[in-house]
Amino acid sequence: MRVAATESGRATHPIERFPQTPTPQSQQHAPRLATPHHITPLHSLSDSEMDFEKILGKCGDCHRYQYMLMALYGFLMFVVSRHYFAQNVISFVPDHWCHHPDLEHRSFEEIAAIYSQFENPSCTRLASIDPDGSNATASSEACDRWIYNYDFGFRSMNAELNWVCDAAYKARVGQSLFFVGSMCGTLIFGLLGDTIGRIKAMILANWCGFLGDSATIFAQSLVTFSVSRFVSGLAAEANAYLMYILALEYVSPSLRNVGLNLILSVFYSLGMISASWQAVWVGEWRTFMAWSAVPLLLVTLFYFLVQESAQWLVTRHDIDGALLRLRRVAHFNRREVSEEDFEQFRVHCKGQESASSHHSMQRQSKLMDALKTPRLRLRMINVLLVFTIITLCYNTVSRNVEGLGLSPFIMFTLFALTLPPSGLFQAQAQKSMGRKFTAVSSMVATGLMTAACGILLTFWKQPSPVLLVALILTSRFGISVCTGATMQISAELVPTCVRSGILAVAHVSGAAFSFVSPFILHLDTYFRAASSIIICLLLFASAWICLLMPETRNKKLPMSLAEGEQFGKGERMFDFLRRPKKEDEADLSAETHQKLVPE
């Protein structure tokens, strides 16, 4: 008996090996069933075949190199978080009122009381003020100078350039172009990641981020600010998910589940908190932008520390390059791997190439060929839909912070503190119940919770700020779990050869539809629970789509389009609820002499 290999060489089910019988001459030349020219039939592995999961296990998939990779991933998440939210920090608009000479020696409370009698206090110019401040007369002239009540003393870009009132649109234009740049950069660098490699594409993306943030420091007009924010936005998403893909392809399933999710949540949270309070510390937006830009250059050092994806090199038919990277990983991990093992891996790769023509193998490396595979095409559409819906819901929940009466710096800190527990909860849920269960259950629970909060606030006209913040943080916790679970199951379902490109399209689609989020929130002016109910329905639809996708837990991830086409074949909608029997797991692990870890 031999055993079919799964993720990291683990077993899934026994396959009987029957004695071979002589084949009649007439049957030896019988015609074989035709298969599509762009699909390569999957062949089961014999005990002697050395696939990528086996050779990576020998080189070390949970050792010194993987720990270094996790540390670098954490550093990048810290930098990415600061880079992304610097866009929000520099655009904070403090309380402001039109300047008048008689207001120069009054407190902010007195100024606010004087302006409270006007409909638009921030942009109304005063003609005269009584000495006691009890009466004031509005002027017909436009306001050209303001009094700012800086939040924690931080002078934002909007305040320094006086981009408030009639000029407030300038900052919004720059922010919009930042997200346009994010969409373009995600698509461009995502496709480059499948063409020139993950490392090079990631470094180029971070260079764009550095140039954009550096140029923003010297911006004085709408044109220069918009161009600089567009360039900065090119790195907003690409640098993060390219490193995520690279780490995903080099680490063991246990480290992939707990390590990636926990590091992402902890260091992203630290980046948000540090961005908020460093801005308060430096007190001025240009200095803060310089502090946010410089760390992006340090990512260039990753080129000398991180190995290019060996899986990706195999899909590009660079077997020598893949072996070189695997040897370096083994050397770094201080693992002894024989040349015979490497040679067996080479033979395995050559065998996979010979299973189809060279022309069709080249086609498998292209993004458009994924659309020619029936089952994989449908799965990619489902991944795209789920990713888009979750991104839209995440941005809608994140922007729903108006009217809380709290400093934006405090709100940033509170939001950040929900990320580590959400990441830990997601990792434990995926470890115990699997990716699919975690994604579906978190979407359903978050949808119900969000709708309940919206309906409660509809009938409770004046809720306390503490309760309001608690409800929003609870929703933020739930949507963070949904986002992390969606990101991981989406990355694992996509074959290695087109993983970067397809996830880039998913990020672009999510960012594009996120422009709808302000309009969803605007519906609350007509019915308080409108946005909450819409988010609930969207999350329910996303959970239903997730039910149509296969589970990835304890499975060998697909590398080629052929493996992606066959992945999850025969799996039913609710099979993920059935846990394998312990005795079966023990038998299978005994056959392969490996531990079957339920990750």
Is 409 inside a domain boundary?
yes
Spatial separation of the C-alpha atoms in residues 3 and 439, rounded to whole Å: 30
Same domain, 267 and 339: yes
Q: Residue 86 in contact with residue 292, Cβ under 8 Å? A: yes
Could you tell me if 234 and 204 are in contact, meaning their C-beta atoms sit under 8 angstroms apart?
no
Percent of the chain with pLDDT over 70: 82
220 burial via Cβ count (<10 Å: 0-12, 13-18, 19+): exposed
Question: How many other CB atoms are found less than 10 A from the CB of residue 122?
Answer: 16
Q: What value, to the nearest 5°, has the Cα angle with vertex 388 and ends 385 and 393?
A: 125
Contacts of 132 (CB under 8 A, 6+ apart): none
- 378 plus 434 within the same structural domain: yes
Pair 319, 270 in one domain: yes
Q: Calculate the average pLDDT of the chain.
A: 78
**Mean pLDDT on 284-300:** 92
Q: What is the reported pLDDT for 48?
A: 54
- How many other C-beta atoms lie within 10 A of the C-beta of residue 172? 11
**CA distance linking residue 136 with residue 129, whole number of Å:** 4
Report d(CA 235, CA 254) in Å as an integer: 29
From residue 586, give the alpha-carbon distance in Å to each of 253, 575, 595, 597: 19, 20, 8, 11
468 and 482 housed in the same domain: yes
Distance CA 409, CA 468 (A): 17
Antiparallel, parallel or unpaired: β 146-149 and 95-98: antiparallel
Q: Which two tokens stand for residue 333?
A: 């991990």
pTM more than 0.75: no
| Mean pLDDT for the stretch of residues 48-61 | 81
Residue 124 sits in the same domain as residue 260: no
Q: How confident is the model at residue 566 (pLDDT cuts 50, 70, 90)?
A: confident
Q: In this structure, is residue 34 part of a structural domain? A: no
| pLDDT value, residue 598 | 34
Angle at 223 between CA 219 and CA 227, to 5 degrees: 80
**H/E run at residue 147:** strand 146-149
Give the pLDDT score at 287: 93
Distances (CA, A) of 298 to 12, 75, 244, 304, 364: 43, 10, 17, 11, 34
Please give the pLDDT value at position 539. 95
What domain range is 138 assigned to? 96-149
Whether residue 591 is contained in a domain is answered as no
Where on the phi/psi map is residue 593: left (φ > 0), alpha (ψ -120 to 50), or beta?
A: left
Is 43 a member of any domain?
Answer: no
Dihedral of the alpha carbons of 549, 544, 503, 63, in degrees to the nearest 10: -60
Average pLDDT over residues 406-429: 83
The answer to whether residue 38 is domain-embedded is: no
> Rounded mean pLDDT of 548-563?
79
Q: Does residue 265 sit in the same domain as residue 300?
A: yes
Query: Residues for the chain: how many in total?
Result: 599
Assess if residue 429 is contained within a domain: yes
* pLDDT of residue 415 exceeding 70: yes
Q: Label the pairing between strands 2-5 and 11-15.
A: antiparallel
Among the candidates 300, 328, 354, a domain finishes at 354
> What is the per-residue pLDDT across 335-379, written as a single tens digit (0 to 9) for each?
888 888 889 888 888 877 665 444 444 444 466 777 777 788 888
Q: Could you tell me if 427 and 313 lie in one domain?
A: no
Q: Mean pLDDT over residues 19-46, rounded?
A: 40
Assigned domain for 325 exists: yes
pLDDT at 251 > cutoff 50 = yes
Q: Secondary structure of 543-580 in the HEC alphabet?
A: HHHHHCCCCCCCCCCCCCHHHHHHCCCCCCCCHHHCCC
From CA 253, how far away is CA 595, in angstroms rounded? 12
**Domain shared by 182 and 136, yes or no:** no
Same domain, 203 and 311: yes
Do 142 and 172 lie in one domain? The reply is no
Q: Do 375 and 343 share a structural domain?
A: no
Phi-psi region of 366 (alpha: psi -120 to 50; beta: other; left: phi over 0): beta
318 assigned to some structural domain: yes
Question: Over the Cα atoms of the chain, what is R_g?
Answer: 28
The answer on 363 and 433 residing in a single domain is yes
pLDDT band at 2 (very low <50, low <70, confident <90, very high): very low
Domain harbouring 516, CATH code: 1.20.1250.20
pLDDT in tens, 505-543: 887 888 778 777 777 877 877 787 888 899 999 999 999
d(CA 151, CA 134): 27
**How buried is residue 97: exposed, middle or buried, by Cβ count under 10 Å (0-12/13-18/19+)?**
buried
Please give the tally of structural domains in the chain: 3
